[in-house]
Amino acid sequence: MMFETWWLLALPLVFGLGWMAARFDLRQLISEQGALPRSYFKGLNFLLNEQPDQAIDAFVEVARLDPETTELHFALGALFRRRGETERAIRVHQNLATRPDLPEPEREHALYELGQDYLRAGLLDRAEESLRRLMSGPYAASAKRVLLELYEVEKEWLKAIDAARELQTLEQKDYRVQIAQFCCELAQDALQKKKPEDAIAWLGRAREENPANVRAPILLGDVAAAAGDLPGALQHWLAIESQDAAYLPLVADRVVKAYGALGEQGKALDWLRGLLKGNLAPELLDTAYKTELEVNGPEGATALMREQLRRQPSLLALTRYFEAQAAGQAADGTGAPDAQSQETAAIRDLLQLRTRNLARYTCRECGFRARLFYWQCPGCNRWETYAPRRSEALG
């Protein structure tokens, strides 16, 4: 009986305490909402209604009324930069970075954002100056990554190598692929400046950094060819087959030209015919067709493409087959073209129009498509993301 009486007395007490707590939370919420400007809620409403322009205007008004809202300033700056309004983003982050009362962590954040604003605006010197002030602290790794991107844009490959090595130590991440490519870029610059010794030295460093790098032997072959050492150049280029045969199409034209200069076009044809029997046929078909046409004429090219169509049918092989037939009919005809040659020419033109629009290479990171092969993707700026293979089936 005493227990039931105690429980009846406790119930009103618990209820009263809960009511007081609810009242306290409600008053606190009303107080917080009253402290926020109406423009803040207008901005949120615009964002929810997918009206970003009006939302930005509302948030700018909030920032004007309450300059202490640093997080809102950061959000505004990021919005401006994302929309391409880099001048407004720079002003926002400059105002933050120069505020004397701003805590150091937020000042570093402002400098980091300012560096990205300058980079987006193309003001590379100012971007480097801002990011260089963050070489220690919580934004060091992020600043070095942006600096690396900046050096790649500026083609400052020596600085890019240093930045990549620092990041490799700081993040415990492998940057050997990028460093090897930077060495290859320096080698290519040296080759253009007629400094083969420097090019060879940089290519040696590239192979030390990344033994799997295929660009280095390609450029070593170019160095040898420029010096007149065609057998040495062929040795470098043909060795790619044992390293990564997928990259052979990148040197096929060089190999054919070198064999031709040595008077050994038959060897070039034998090499190409052997490769056509494998899975590299789509990439090597053009080179094989042109070489066969040059050496054995339209009849030889027609026979080669007919054999290729039996072995591995594709739209490109069919196009080259009709090109060879049209070339042979044009060479044999002495008067006006007959109906058969006109029909062959029409089929050739139609196929050429179709194959001309086929994408050749696709970046596996961002999907950027290009007809030329790039070691660095023009879309996402990643290195070695293009496989040297056609991205679309040709048949």
Q: How far is CA 268 from CA 40, 118, 231, 261, 321, in A?
A: 72, 52, 13, 11, 20
377 annotated binding-site participant: yes
Residue whose pair of structure tokens reads 């076009």 in the numeric block: 265
How many whole angstroms separate alpha carbon 257 and alpha carbon 259? 6
Under 8 Å between Cβ of 377 and 363: yes
Q: Residues 383, 375: contact at Cβ < 8 Å?
A: yes
Specify whether the CB–CB gap between 371 and 360 falls below 8 A: yes
183 has binding-site annotation: no
Q: Residue 139's Cα: distance from chain center in Å? A: 24
How many of the other CB atoms lie within 10 Å of CB of 159?
17
Q: Is 33 exposed, middle or buried (0-12, 13-18, 19+ CB in 10 A)?
A: exposed
Tell me the residue length of the chain.
395
Distance, in Å, from the CA atom of 286 to the CA atom of 252, rounded to the nearest integer, reads 10
Backbone angles phi, psi at 211, to 5 degrees: -60, -20
Query: Is residue 380 annotated as involved in ligand binding?
Result: yes
Is the distance from CB of 116 to CB of 104 less than 8 angstroms?
A: no
Handedness of CA 74, 79, 81, 87 (dihedral sign): negative
Q: What's the first-to-final CA gap in the chain, in angstroms?
A: 92
Phi-psi region of 173 (alpha: psi -120 to 50; beta: other; left: phi over 0): beta
Q: List C-alpha distances in Å: 375 to 154, 156, 238, 370.
A: 17, 17, 20, 12
Alpha helix segments (H runs only) across 155-175? 157-171
Torsion of Cα atoms, 352 then 355 then 361 then 364, to 10°: 170
Binding site membership: which residues? 363, 366, 377, 380
Binding site membership for Fe cation: which residues? 363, 366, 377, 380
